[in-house]
């Protein structure tokens, strides 16, 4: 989680960036960053991690509100990975956002389950570019939403298999010590390996770690997937189960819940009044 020490490190990184005056980059520096000008056929790394194990390509796998995810390669094990990069300057003066940013990296490193996206215990601050970076496993077929849109003829049997895996991942979060409420369960934050059908929950940037009461209070999430009690600022992990149900609805109907609403206010009014999404009538 974000601490005073973490904030001081970020401050130091920004100061070092301002004071950095030597921009010379010879062949040795290019090689250090995974760029070999003499190898014209190889796909070049844009950058590598400080220990020289992981290289980042320019290909984007996904983009969030504060995070970009790039295709990467583990040179030691010879496998592809996901390079998560957060631009710290976007919210340096936003303490809450800074907390949530470090919260995600801390949570991922603490967890270990077949249906939770794995973090490879490689986290570092890039002082030159003012970014927080961490490496996770990559799900080859992207998010469950993109996968479902690509493959339109899917049996109920397959969707049940995906659903069971999501529930197993959620069960792990709720029996974890301490308990974790994801708070942003949606098909965009669930990932799949299409060649195996393996499903994993990811994107823990809005998650909450709660005590034995399992109660949280902050209003966070994606409006169409937020349970009514979330708006009341007093809720438990049950809000994730509500969102899971809407994920299943999306998988079956191929329609995002409350898609008929064109504003967040309209979604809130429907949810708070108990009105069901139109997709349920399909």
CATH 3.30.200.20 in the chain, residue ranges? 4-136
Give the domain 4-136 fold.
Phosphorylase Kinase; domain 1 (3.30.200)
Q: Is 146 a catalytic residue?
A: no
Catalytic residue among 49, 74, 130, 203: 203
Strand partners, 116: 201
| Regions in the chain scoring below 50 on pLDDT | 1-3, 17-28, 30-32
The per-residue pLDDT for 98 is 75
H/E stretch holding 190 reads strand 190-193
- Residue 23's pLDDT is 41
Domain with CATH 1.10.510.10 in the chain: 144-281
Q: How far is CA 133 from CA 166, 189, 221, in A?
A: 26, 19, 23
CA distance 219 to 207: 11
Spatial separation of the C-alpha atoms in residues 282 and 278, rounded to whole Å: 8
**Helix ranges, 115-237 (H):** 144-150, 156-175, 228-231
pLDDT of 117 reads: 94
> Does the domain made of 144-281 have the CATH classification 1.10.10.10?
no
The answer to whether 247 and 184 have CB atoms below 8 angstroms apart is no
């Amino acid at each position: 989680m974000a601490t005073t020490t973490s904030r001081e490190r970020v401050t130091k990184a920004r100061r070092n960036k301002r004071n950095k005056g030597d921009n010379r980059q010879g062949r040795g520096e290019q090689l250090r960053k995974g760029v070999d000008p003499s190898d014209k056929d190889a796909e070049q790394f844009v950058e590598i991690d400080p220990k020289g194990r992981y290289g980042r390509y320019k290909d984007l796998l996904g983009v969030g509100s504060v995070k970009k995810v790039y295709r990467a390669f583990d040179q030691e094990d010879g496998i592809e990975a996901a390079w998560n990069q957060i631009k710290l300057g976007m919210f340096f003066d936003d303490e809450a956002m800074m907390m949530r940013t470090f919260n995600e990296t801390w949570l991922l490193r603490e967890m270990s389950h077949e249906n939770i996206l794995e973090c490879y215990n490689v986290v570092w601050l890039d002082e030159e570019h003012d970014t927080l970076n961490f490496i996770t496993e990559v799900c080859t077929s992207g998010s469950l939403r993109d996968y479902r849109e690509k493959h339109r003829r899917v049996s109920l049997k397959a969707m049940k298999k995906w659903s069971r895996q999501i529930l197993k991942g959620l069960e792990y979060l709720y029996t974890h010590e301490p308990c974790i409420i994801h708070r942003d369960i949606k098909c965009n934050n669930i990932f799949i390996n299409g060649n195996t059908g393996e499903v994993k929950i990811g994107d823990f940037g809005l998650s909450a770690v709660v005590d034995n009461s399992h109660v949280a209070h902050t209003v966070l999430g994606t409006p169409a997937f937020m349970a009514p009690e979330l708006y009341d600022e007093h809720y438990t992990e049950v809000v994730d189960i509500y969102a899971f149900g809407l994920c299943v609805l999306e998988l079956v109907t191929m329609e995002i819940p409350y898609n008929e609403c064109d504003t967040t206010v309209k979604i809130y009014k429907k949810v708070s009044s108990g009105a069901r999404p139109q997709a349920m009538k399909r």
